[in-house]
Amino acid sequence: MKYDDASWHYGADNFPKDLPDEAGATHIGMYVAWALLSGLGSSQIEEDSPELLEKLKARTITPGAFFMAACDGKFTDEELNETGQAFTEDYFDMEAGEYIEDYEELFAEDVDSIYEIEDSWAHYDQLKPVIDERLANWKEYARDS
């Protein structure tokens, strides 16, 4: 299952013409980095991209740059373990999920477009607690169901 694709964003009419294509991957890369660093990654991505994962863990590559290099700009269920897939299907869903709303709420005040958000560890560090809380709430809800 494909959750998102950077080309869906940089190929869209509303994508700012003055930004590089990689800007269409930042919001996805932030989420993928969070998932992998939170133990929700699959063994496949560990096997396919061990050097890049080490760079991600060491913060010598940004989340968006990692995503473009390791996933070719495509976010699929192959990057995630079973728990990661279940949470992502609820939270990251572009139609009904809350991820993009959380991302916009956190960062959009300072920019005209979410694509202008810098691919940085400082932004990741702002976003991480928001997603951590969403995951904790999701686990609580799943346990109570």
pLDDT in tens, 100-135: 999 999 998 878 899 999 999 999 999 999 999 999
**Residue 145 above 60 pLDDT?**
no
Q: What is the pLDDT, as a whole number, of residue 142? A: 76
pLDDT, one tens digit per residue, over 109-118 is 878 899 999 9
CA proximity to 5, closest of 79, 84, 116: 79
Residue 32 half-sphere exposure, CB side, CA atoms within 13 Å?
A: 34
Q: What is the pTM of this model?
A: 0.95
Q: Report residue 15 as tokens.
A: 């994508």
Cα–Cα distance measured from residue 141 to residue 145, given in angstroms and rounded to the nearest whole number:
6
pLDDT, one tens digit per residue, over 50-64 is 999 999 999 999 999
Which residues of the chain form beta strands (DSSP E)? 2-5, 74-76
